[in-house]
A and B are shown apart, each in its own frame.
Chain A
Amino acid sequence: MLSVRDLTVSLGPATAPVDIVAGVSFELGKGEILGLVGESGCGKSMTSLAVMGLLPQPGPRIRTGQVLLEGSDVTQMEPWQRVEAGHGRMAMIFQEPMTSLNPVRRIGDQIAEAVQVHDRVSGLPATARARELLELVRMPDPAMQLSAYPHQLSGGQRQRVMIAIALACRPQVLIADEPTTALDVTIQVQVLGLLRELCNRLDMAMLFITHDMGVIAQLADRVAVMYAGRIVETAGVEALFGRPCHHYTRGLMDCMPSRNSGARRLPTIGGQPPAPGTVRAGCVFASRCAAVRETCRSVAPPRAEVSSGHEVLCAFPLDDGGPR
């Protein structure tokens, strides 16, 4: 469905590029939910914008790599070319729905606008489809809400509207960048449930970006953990949580409060992620890794397959998931 190969996104002059996404590869199958998890600045949002063709201009650019949607590379296409070629069927939703919606237009019109672009219809048929989309995202009272303005809706309802707009193009791939981070937990669980239901029902694949390991565990089929522009571990969700092999993955899980209820102190990962472009040799995680060895600082770690479908970018991976 979607295949990203060796994607590198860089900033700065072509003669001295700084890679903020460095050689990221992943596959997304039909109907699959891939969770991309990492902390701020690790390059997860840049990866999604690059895949979507939405990198801010001027600014970061794709230096190498391919983004194959059903076999054709979309990195070299302009947005209109993507639509013409039938590769427009990728959509994205963002963290804060209020900043993505137009505050002075009724939501029905905003959904219908997306319908007009993709279905080439307008007027009543577009409104009818907008209503259908609101029903699809389980908006209470959809016919009434068509005439509501964004400020009249709650945060959860606004995110439902964003999802409805994204679904207007009948996407094969939905990219969701922290769509529930701004929502209360009680609403988050509803929106996550809706997204999973839609993936099943519409046979839609989803790239779900988050910093929250709990959300990943609840939602994803497979997980890619990102650190300093690289995917450091990728595995099925059960395998990743059952047996994390990268020291960073393990650290992320350990420092979650909900895994330590009652403990007096939380385990932490010391230090901070390196600034992009500052690690010239060796492993990007070496400066924070508790199990670092001399070779880690000089030799780039190999990508090793610890079991089928479970890969880790580490020379000395945890072999038993570490002590429990």
Chain B
Amino acid sequence: MTGNAVLDIKDLKVSFKVRRSGGKYQVRAVDGVSLSLAEGEVLGIVGESGCGKTTVGRSIVGLARPDSGSISFKGKDMSAAGLRDMRLNIRMVFQDPYASLNPRRTIGDSVAEAGDINGFFTGRAERSAAIAAALTAVGLDPSFAARYPYELSGGQRQRAGIARTILPSPSIVIADEPVSALDVSVQAQVLNLMMDLREQLGLSMLFISHDLGVIGQISNRVAVMYMGRIVEQATTRAVLDDPRHPYTRSLVAAIPKPDPSKRILGAIETGEPPSLFKRPSGCAYAPRCPLASHRCLVDVPELRSVDDRALACHNV
């Protein structure tokens, strides 16, 4: 994007070895993704389950090992940047607040863990004060530091999960479906919190979700992924108000609108999701696509720039 990109991903490829019915298969979860995240920006990644959006996030923090491609943080290649430095600067919020906190550690210990490992605190008093400040920043009472995860509701746990990522303060937060496990009323609270923190701490954020409604609320730009590739990337408004790629169109059309006078059931055709074991030869979306032509079946469309966006489609 611009010169002040904090995170730059080039041609990332990640694959997994899977055993199925006696045979070994190579599943390519991410197949050549390039992204850049500007300072202070929230970039949303959206797609169906299995499209590789989580793997992109996990590759950035080193939880998945890329086959090829480069990830650089503030211009420095990540493999050379030193893991420790990178890990303090790039943090992750996970989907399930019930599974991502250690049940046998207090909230305070979990929140302080990154600081403890890196010798960030000089004394007990400083550590307690830092924990209290982080908890207050996410809207929890400092007394929560002494509690265990089982004593907290889902929304409180996710706030604690977010508190873990801001102590010490990072540059980038990777949020992988951070509100999907929460009730709608709590979801709104946590989304507001993330927007506030982003503003106060000047964070850049990669926000991964299957929910275009949530993505639309928090992101500046959106990348739409399908079978390991980006098929459309543009500003949030452009993607939501004027989706161009046939896949993005079907994603936008399938959002259940909270308006009984605009019913869509039976009116739209969305096709069956693909099998990761059988990648089509041409465009991966062609078997579901209403616009598919002969060329789509043989020729993989490259992501190219069209008007205000990047698009990977032969026919739009």
Q: Which of A11-19, A81-89, A208-216, A290-298 contacts B (4 or more CB under 8 A)?
A: A208-216
Q: List chain B residues, Cβ under 8 A from A259.
A: 258
Q: List chain A residues, Cβ under 8 A from B256.
A: 185, 188-189, 192, 212, 214-215, 217-218
Q: Can you pick out 21 interface pairs between chain A and chain B where the beta carbons lie within 8 Å of each other?
A: A157-B272, A185-B210, A188-B256, A192-B256, A192-B265, A196-B265, A197-B266, A214-B255, A217-B256, A217-B257, A218-B257, A237-B260, A251-B185, A253-B258, A257-B213, A257-B214, A258-B258, A261-B217, A268-B189, A269-B185, A272-B153
Contact B217 A260 (CB under 8 A): yes
Q: List chain B residues, Cβ under 8 A from A140.
A: 272
Contact B195 A218 (CB under 8 A): no
B301 at interface by CB-CB < 8 Å: no
Q: List chain B residues, Cβ under 8 A from A241.
A: 258-260
Other A-B pairs beyond A186-B48, A187-B270, 7, CB < 8 Å: A188-B254, A190-B270, A218-B265, A237-B260, A256-B258, A257-B211, A258-B213
A267 at interface by CB-CB < 8 Å: yes
Contact B273 A186 (CB under 8 A): yes
Assembled-state Cα–Cα distance A252/B254 (Å): 21
The smallest C-beta distance from A227 to any residue of chain B, in angstroms, reads: 10
Q: Which residues of chain B have a CB within 8 Å of any CB of chain A?
A: 48-49, 153-155, 183-189, 191-192, 195, 210-214, 216-217, 237, 240, 250-251, 254-261, 263-266, 268, 270-273
Q: List chain A residues, Cβ under 8 A from B272.
A: 140, 154, 156-157
Interface of A is mostly: helix
A305 at interface by CB-CB < 8 Å: no
With A217-B259, A272-B153 given, is the CB distance from A185 to B254 under 8 Å?
yes
Size bin of chain A's contact surface: 35 or more
Q: List chain B residues, Cβ under 8 A from A252.
A: 184-185
A117 at interface by CB-CB < 8 Å: no
Assembled-state Cα–Cα distance A246/B206 (Å): 37
The smallest C-beta distance from A70 to any residue of chain B, in angstroms, reads: 28
Assembled-state Cα–Cα distance A238/B49 (Å): 32
Contact A214 B155 (CB under 8 A): no
**Interface contact tally, CB-CB below 8 A:** 131
A255 at interface by CB-CB < 8 Å: yes
Contact with B along A259-300 (1 / 0, CB 8 A): 111111111110010000000000000000000000000000
Contact B273 A187 (CB under 8 A): yes
Which of chain A's residues has its CB closest to B179's CB?
Answer: A257
Assembled-state Cα–Cα distance A156/B211 (Å): 17
The smallest C-beta distance from B226 to any residue of chain A, in angstroms, reads: 11
Which of chain B's residues has its CB closest to A216's CB?
Answer: B258
Q: List chain B residues, Cβ under 8 A from A196.
A: 265-266
Contact A258 B254 (CB under 8 A): no
Contact A193 B185 (CB under 8 A): no
With A39-B184, A218-B256, A219-B265 given, is the CB distance from A261 to B216 under 8 Å?
yes
Contact B217 A266 (CB under 8 A): yes
Q: List chain A residues, Cβ under 8 A from B214.
A: 257
A195-225 with Cβ < 8 A to chain B: 196-197, 211-220
Q: List chain B residues, Cβ under 8 A from A190.
A: 270
Assembled-state Cα–Cα distance A41/B268 (Å): 33
Contact B260 A193 (CB under 8 A): no
With A39-B184, A184-B49 given, is the CB distance from A258 to B265 under 8 Å?
no
Which of chain A's residues has its CB closest to B214's CB?
Answer: A257
Q: List chain A residues, Cβ under 8 A from B155.
A: 272
Q: List chain B residues, Cβ under 8 A from A100.
A: none
The smallest C-beta distance from A322 to any residue of chain B, in angstroms, reads: 15
Assembled-state Cα–Cα distance A212/B180 (Å): 12
Which of chain B's residues has its CB closest to A180's CB?
Answer: B256
Assembled-state Cα–Cα distance A267/B211 (Å): 18
With A189-B256, A272-B155 given, is the CB distance from A257 to B250 under 8 Å?
no
Question: Which 10 A/B pairs are nearest by Cβ-Cβ distance?
Answer: A214-B256, A255-B188, A186-B270, A257-B213, A266-B188, A39-B183, A258-B213, A193-B265, A257-B217, A184-B48
Contact of B266 (CB < 8 Å), options: A39, A188, A193, A217: A193
Q: List chain A residues, Cβ under 8 A from B189.
A: 268
Q: List chain B residues, Cβ under 8 A from A220.
A: 260
Contact A214 B195 (CB under 8 A): no
Which of chain A's residues has its CB closest to B268's CB?
Answer: A189
Assembled-state Cα–Cα distance A259/B188 (Å): 12
Assembled-state Cα–Cα distance A143/B12 (Å): 41
